[in-house]
Amino acid sequence: MDARTKPTHVKAPHGATTLEITWADGHRSALPHEILRGYCPCASCQGHSGTIKFQVGGNLEIRNLEQVGNYALSFAWGDGHEAGIYTFRYLRSLGDLLDAQGAEGVKALGELPRL
Give the mean model confidence (pLDDT) for residues 19-27: 97
Which ranges in the chain belong to alpha helices (H)?
33-38, 43-46, 88-109
The residues pairing with 72 across neighbouring beta strands, listed in sequence order, are 68, 87
For residue 12, give every residue at least 6 positions away whose Cβ sits within 8 Å of its Cβ, in sequence order, or none: 19, 20, 62, 65
Confidence (pLDDT) at 114? 78
Cα distances (angstroms) measured from residue 73 to each of 86, 102, 110: 5, 22, 23
Q: Where are the domains of the chain?
A: 3-106
Confidence (pLDDT) at 30? 97
Q: pLDDT class for 54, splitting at 50, 70, 90? A: very high
CATH of domain 3-106: 3.30.2020.30
Whether the pLDDT of residue 1 is over 80: the answer is no
Q: In this predicted model, what pLDDT tens digit does every residue of 55-109 receive, in sequence order?
A: 998 899 999 999 999 999 999 999 999 998 999 999 999 999 999 999 999 999 9
Q: How far apart are CA 3 and CA 88, in angstroms?
A: 11
